[in-house]
Structure 1
């Protein structure tokens, strides 16, 4: 009976070990590691993983380390040194620690705003020029899956973040990243150079994805124009020469307010019109919608009437019919004083 319980317990432990993700970061080209072997000074030093994914340590053949965790590299180096008769097994002690994590290149495709080749964990100017400080245990927060998706522009509102694909060495792994938005734990996988990430497109709009997060844009820039009423210029309307930034998830109505297209005298301004123009980045096709300013603010009930703003959208405000009629009358009457003065 005791033997059966032990077998069951060991089976549970084995299952948990397979289900629990490994938190160690695998090595990639450019990573720098420190090798320390007591009484083995000829093998000690700081070494960089070369483009082939090997460590070039003196007196031994290049040691493959690409995709391996530091502990695995430590065990492999121990085996190589013992098999090469450099040390006796009872006396050999090998320690390998990472002293600098390099930037790496991964490839992101699918439902992101800027798919393509992504360079993550880029070093600061000081780190590029100064030798690495031999401090073990450094943590690179920008060499993980969420950082790569963020650097690819973030996911689009139609992304299926429950089935993100990570392809490494021709093996595909499905990762559920919905915890990024809900606060639940999720597996943020450590990446190595050459990893491929595919974010599937669900074909359905998900409004919960249109807000700032670790895998969505933090904001968008929109061009605003409001030339006459209720203000006489963009400067007095608080509209700058460059695009105005909005938090990701802002809507058409908020751009209308930011452009000072709303407010003022109801009789002249409530009937103003606002146009939202959107240009698709890939096709160059421009679409637009026109809405009454008062309706946008008071009667918008869905995404069609009051859509989310996209990067590089343009919002233009036009005066009401009352103001247009007034301007026409003023144009007609303007020459009268001049003619009267001439006749005098």
Structure 2
């Protein structure tokens, strides 16, 4: 009888030890490729950090001509689809003089005339060409300023944006609500200022400049010409330097291949905020809803770091038994697309004086997960053991401990 009890105790003790050891495991230990980390704060504290040397931007197509930025600033805006024009013809009885909209094919159509191609033309160029057409058609006499063409409203335009932005691609800028359109409330008017048809607006629409962007060498391509802009002054308000864009323009944001934390904050060139995915199933929460994780807690200002994100996910504070919880940050290297998983001891970061060196910045679409402490995992293992073996096993353990 005593032997059977001893064997039972040994078996139960072995099972209990295995469960406890299994339960003591906390967050997974991630293994990342060497090229996955791109932010200095993603490294471990004891890792030696090399100084990143910014790279030079790629060479432009030699077929394109480089021009000073002042040349583009001096040019009038090119007309494009959706622009509204007011045309006044001298001596006209109202047949030709009215408002017109340039169609999707860059054509301006007036009664009695063949469609006028406005692609790549400024307002004054269209006015000159239209006057020549009217004289040739015999609709007006060749008088000075026989036609007056004025801009009532500049429409939005599509701009391809590539390079060191979070969402490279073709973006729409300069779109406005109908109630704000010129002439909708004030009646006939001339002149328009669409401040959202700019390089900065295009970069923001493409998700904003990444921390590796070279803001001193932003390229704008217009036709067969290109220029280089220094928009770094928009970050601190020291200078403007922006350029209004025209239909057909392209924007290229070069990369330095280096992380610059000065760019990780809201500005006219960077995102105002980011969306982060949060998961907190640690004790006592049984779901994200119980952890009070909602839309507001997962929408954070750009420049938020991991510790602030953990506080937003309610992963900081609470029972001392659940101290030294683990957190995992899932991110991606935008330079090569490699995913990177960073593990941190939450209380260890709070206690360490060098926490800023290991507290990564959060990027758009990052994910944060919280894990219970080892003590809580061991507690769950013991509880699971008790539930599985019932009161008899518990009595044996108590008797064993009493001896």
In 2 relative to 1, CA 303–155 (structure 1 residues): closer, same or farther, beyond 3 Å? farther
Q: 2:326 aligns with which of 273, 286, 290?
A: 273
- My pick for the range that moved more, 131-140 or 199-208, is 131-140
Give 1:192 deviation, angstroms.
1.8
Helix, strand or coil at the partner of 1:147:
helix
Aligned to 2:362: 309
Matches within 5 A, 1:1-344: 21-22=73-74, 24-41=76-93, 42-78=95-131, 81=134, 86-89=140-143, 92-124=145-177, 134-229=188-283, 231=285, 233-240=287-294, 244-266=298-320, 268-279=321-332, 285-299=338-352, 301=354, 305-334=358-387, 338-339=391-392
In the aligned structure 2, how far is the partner of 1:21 from the partner of 1:215? Answer: 19
Instruction: Give the conservation status (yes or no) of the 8 Å contact 1:108–1:197.
Output: yes
In 2 relative to 1, CA 155–278 (structure 1 residues): closer, same or farther, beyond 3 Å? same
Normalized against structure 1, the TM-score is what?
0.80
In the aligned structure 2, how far is the partner of 1:340 from the partner of 1:20? Answer: 84
Moved over 6 A (4+): 125-128, 281-284
Helix, strand or coil at the partner of 1:21:
helix
Q: RCO higher in 1 or 2 (8 Å CA, sep ≥ 6)?
A: 2
Helix, strand or coil at the partner of 1:27:
coil
In 2 relative to 1, CA 51–322 (structure 1 residues): closer, same or farther, beyond 3 Å? closer
List per-residue Cα deviations over 1:259-311 (Å, max 9, x = no partner).
Answer: 11111233x23311111112468977432111110122332747761111122
In the aligned structure 2, how far is the partner of 1:300 from the partner of 1:144? Answer: 43
Give 1:319 deviation, angstroms.
1.6
* Unaligned runs of at least 5 residues, structure 1: 1-17
In the aligned structure 1, how far is the partner of 2:87 from the partner of 2:326? Answer: 69
- My pick for the range that moved more, 220-229 or 73-82, is 73-82
Normalized against structure 2, the TM-score is what?
0.69
In 2 relative to 1, CA 300–46 (structure 1 residues): closer, same or farther, beyond 3 Å? farther
Aligned to 1:10: none
Taking only aligned residues, the RMSD between alpha carbons, in angstroms, comes to: 3.5
Give 1:54 deviation, angstroms.
3.9
Larger radius of gyration: 2
* Unaligned runs of at least 5 residues, structure 2: 1-69, 396-403
In the aligned structure 2, how far is the partner of 1:125 from the partner of 1:298? Answer: 54
In the aligned structure 1, how far is the partner of 2:306 from the partner of 2:394? Answer: 49
In 2 relative to 1, CA 295–23 (structure 1 residues): closer, same or farther, beyond 3 Å? farther
